Structure 1
Amino acid sequence: MSWNWSVCVVLLAALTLCHAGPDPHAKPNLNPIQTDPPVFVRQTENAKLYTVGKGDDIINVLHLWGNPYERGFAHGTIMKEEASAMMKAVWGYFEKEIIDAVNSTVPGFFKEWFLKDVANLGLDVALDLEKAATKPYTPQYFYDEIQGLADGAGVDVKIIERIHLIGELTKGSCSMYGAWGKAVPLPNSVMQLRALDWASDGPFQNYPQLTVYHIDDSNATNGHSFVNIGWSGWVGSITGMSSTQMAISEIGVAYPDDTFGKESRFGFPFTFLLRDILQFDNTLDDSINRIANAHRTCDLILGVGDGKLNTFRGIEYSAEVSYFFDDINMRPVAEWHPKIENVVYWGMDWLDPGYSSVLGRQLQKYHGNITAENTIRDIVSIVQTGDLHIAVYDLTKNIMYVANARKDNAGGPKNAYDRPFIRVDAKKLFDEHKPTV
């Protein structure tokens, strides 16, 4: 299906199909980038805790070692207060949101079939049905790590399992780009954006965490080290970078076209698939094969960058299809989604003229000089994307720039795209030594 601006305007008026666009008066983010090194906090067996950032923008950096259960147990033990508080707050938040949605006061955030299950069976049973639908496709090591986390933090394992399936059931809005070649200052480099717009009125912003998994790579089947950008007590991946100079981006699709086909609740949860990309894939081709052969579930747009091959691919992802895009074949084809040489991008959704057109305009403005600095100053801030958290990856230099939404009782702007970013040297994260306790 081919879309253009006039088509979407008609549908917007008739069906409210597309999101509204960003504020045309949005201002650049002029906050200095924070560059201070991590500060050590404490350590225990198989775990070390640091912080990065300053003032209201401090983010925990947790290093983990051991097998899956040991990593989970160390996570739960050293972050017991934060992980247990996060799980309790998230469960309460989604409980309220789902009840309000069932009562039709919060429309559009959850899948309709899930709300029917909740209405007929109750929240616990509906989420346990989702677990039953995905468990045959989920490797045991995820359940081992979650069990370790539950034992270490003293949290009911069922609560943690259920929370990790919520992403399958919601309709998030996010943005991404991948830029390489003629789009960036150094031709043999890759820049990548992952902007998360999701549940910014919930508790997630209070528990930001970079979780660094130190994988024993003496056995190739174990994979390699990676950093997961999420929250305390979270083991799935929606944002992250690996020691093989690869990174992930993800967008939930609320407004697909008919090329997506049907969704399914039976398959491999996408947050676990994305984590497997970070842990096990050595090249972009590995990720393409993994995605193409996976038992996929919901409608998404994924992005994978590879700093070794100096390229990026976007993926139209659903239960029925997996289409891989570069700058030549990128879709949807529309006036509001112009093709840009050596750039792949989407703003907020698959069909979203308002945000995609502004993101495309800003990328064109800086084409040939797309950097982390102008992405932070003049791209995400002007597009107004990434309200909950943002990662800008320089895959060639192994550097990440991260920002988090305003925590409760903190000062300053609410949204991550307006707040200070923190520069993180990923190579130094992966070089951290295991504690000797």
Structure 2
Amino acid sequence: MALILQTLVCVFVFLYTPAQTAYCHGKPDLNAKQNLNPVFHGETRFVRQVKNGKLYVAGEAQDAFNVVHLWGTPYEMGYAHGSLVKDEAFRFIQSVWTYMEQQVVLAINGSVHIFKPWFLKEVADKGLDVALDAEIDVTRPFTGEYFFQEAKGLADATGLDYKMILRIHMIGELTKGDCSMVGAWGSAVKQPGSLLQLRALDWNTDGPFKDFPQVTVYHPSDPKYGHAFANIGWTGWFGSITGFNSKQMAISEIGVSFPDASFGSESRFGIPFTYILRDVLQFDSSLSDAMHRMKNAHRTCDLILGVGDAKVKTTLRTFAIVVLVYLVSYCKVQDSWQNPQFSLAFKILRVWGPNFYTDTDMEPEASWHPKVKDIVYYGMDWLCPGFSEVLARQLTKHHGNLSPDVVIRDVVSIEQSGSLHIAVYDLSNNQVYIANARGTYESGPLDAFDRTFVQLNTTALFEVQPPQV
């Protein structure tokens, strides 16, 4: 009984703790220029195949990237992935691990501020590998088993350390990325009945990610493993941060570093956001499926998640911004998070779910974040006036004429969002436009929003046939 009372006191104290509100102070360059690079429209080019996998290349010259197709069970897909791009996957995983070690040292010394304080304390006390293993342990009950099977396949094919693969996939939970998203339909778009969606990722152009861009297309062998979907990310990476599926759905995401009073404390005990976004792509067939998943998930960090569904014909729900507004904190009353009293608190607290916003009720309400008919948008964060007002201005300026070309030329290039990579989804027409940051040994502009976009036909991607080997 005492433990239950302690739990309830913890709940009560948190709910009546005032939140501190701060704003991000960044803003785009006033001299930002249009992106006038022609979009690359060529076909993907076949390179090689292995059992359960095919490798293609999309784009040309310094804007080219791998397109990997995988078939079979999760283990078989992981093994095929590693077999097709063994050297690249090995270098990527090792490079990310080295980068994380370097960044943690800088963070402990106060030189960078990308990690959460509790994580840095654990690293200082126990070491990076132990701290990440603890994060894997507390999120494992909420993680699909397919993820671990795929990691094992990748490890077996490449010779990489299985635990290292899992550890680097925790990086999204421990850092914050500044990103932007847009959903536009109805009166806002040039083509009647179309749905446009933007996902711009601003994150770590100084790290190894820019050197390993890849689109990974999954063709599960059995319906129990879901349907076909594609991750836009990097070689050897299989969490989802950007992507689309064969059901004409796509995802966007923003890490929230500047919440308002509607957000509460974050939690370690739940499903990592890169896994829940993958579950949306892999298993959900409609916007309502995704909303149900978001509502009932054990969530962790403060995020804005966007899900687009081109099949929805009403403008009210054509594009939903799924905002995870944390009104609660999880209170641990004993050393084991599996303690029954902690479980009671967990169940009590998680009745507060995310808020689902459209163009008519989008928050936060502010002069720098005006409502625009048939558009939802967020620039770089939840409270980020400098970027949000520029994004709103460009969307309003081109309202009624929005198309993939306009978004590329006049929206993300002027807002200057999407440093690492960008996806512009034209879901109704089964097209996606992708740009990546400049690699270490490449030339031209650094940021993806200033570089050449490559167009891919999503229908053609999902119709690629498995190898006959």
Query: Is 1:251 matched with 2:254?
Result: yes
- Equivalent residue for 1:400? 432
- Equivalent residue for 1:316? 323
Cα distance in 1 between the residues matched to 2:380 and 2:85: 32
Cα distance in 1 between the residues matched to 2:74 and 2:220: 10
Query: Is 1:241 matched with 2:244?
Result: yes
- Equivalent residue for 1:306? 309
**Percent same amino acid at aligned positions?**
56
- Equivalent residue for 2:35? 29
Within a 5 Å distance, the mapping from 1:355-374 to structure 2 comes to 355-374=387-406
Cα distance in 2 between the residues matched to 1:200 and 1:117: 26
Within a 5 Å distance, the mapping from 1:3-402 to structure 2 comes to 17-107=23-113, 109-216=114-221, 219=223, 221-310=224-313, 311-318=318-325, 320=328, 321-402=353-434
What letter matches 2:177 in structure 1? Answer: G
Equivalent residue in structure 2 for 1:416, among 448, 452, 458: 448
Cα distance in 2 between the residues matched to 1:322 and 1:98: 31
Conserved 8 A contact 1:298-1:318: no
Q: How far has the Cα of 1:187 moved from its partner?
A: 3.1
Cα distance in 2 between the residues matched to 1:189 and 1:215: 28
Cα distance in 1 between the residues matched to 2:249 and 2:220: 16
Q: How far has the Cα of 1:15 moved from its partner?
A: 9.3
What letter matches 2:28 in structure 1? Answer: P
Q: How far has the Cα of 1:317 moved from its partner?
A: 1.2
Q: How far has the Cα of 1:318 moved from its partner?
A: 4.9
Conserved 8 A contact 1:262-1:318: no
Cα distance in 2 between the residues matched to 1:95 and 1:160: 14
What letter matches 1:240 in structure 2? Answer: G
Conserved 8 A contact 2:73-2:225: no
Please list every run of 5 or more consecutive structure 2 residues that lacks an aligned counterpart in the other structure: 1-19, 329-352
Q: Could you list the per-position Cα deviations for residues 278-306 of structure 1 after superposition, in whole angstroms to 9, with x for gaps in the alignment? A: 01111100000000000000000000000
Conserved 8 A contact 2:22-2:383: no
Q: Secondary structure at the match of 2:220?
A: coil
Structure 1 window deviating more from structure 2 (316-325 vs 339-348): it is: 316-325
Distance 1:15 1:177, change over 3 A: closer
Query: Is 1:431 matched with 2:434?
Result: no
What letter matches 2:463 in structure 1? Answer: D
Cα distance in 1 between the residues matched to 2:245 and 2:21: 41
Conserved 8 A contact 2:22-2:260: no
Q: Secondary structure at the match of 2:394?
A: helix
- Equivalent residue for 1:4? none
Conserved 8 A contact 2:191-2:403: no
Q: How far has the Cα of 1:200 moved from its partner?
A: 1.1
Q: Could you list the per-position Cα deviations for residues 168-188 of structure 1 after superposition, in whole angstroms to 9, with x for gaps in the alignment? A: 010111000000111112331
What letter matches 1:95 in structure 2? Answer: E
Q: Secondary structure at the match of 1:56?
A: helix
Cα distance in 1 between the residues matched to 2:148 and 2:426: 32
Conserved 8 A contact 1:212-1:228: yes
- How many residue pairs match? The answer is 421
Q: TM-score, normalised by structure 1?
A: 0.95
| Structure whose CA Rg is larger | 2
What letter matches 2:104 in structure 1? Answer: I
What letter matches 1:330 in structure 2? Answer: M
Q: How far has the Cα of 1:216 moved from its partner?
A: 3.2
Q: How far has the Cα of 1:339 moved from its partner?
A: 0.2
Conserved 8 A contact 1:296-1:318: no
Q: TM-score, normalised by structure 2?
A: 0.88
What letter matches 1:420 in structure 2? Answer: T
Conserved 8 A contact 2:74-2:149: yes
Q: Secondary structure at the match of 1:258?
A: coil
Q: How far has the Cα of 1:70 moved from its partner?
A: 0.3
Cα distance in 2 between the residues matched to 1:342 and 1:95: 44
Conserved 8 A contact 2:262-2:325: no
What letter matches 2:439 in structure 1? Answer: K
Structure 1 window deviating more from structure 2 (288-297 vs 308-317): it is: 308-317
RMSD: 1.2
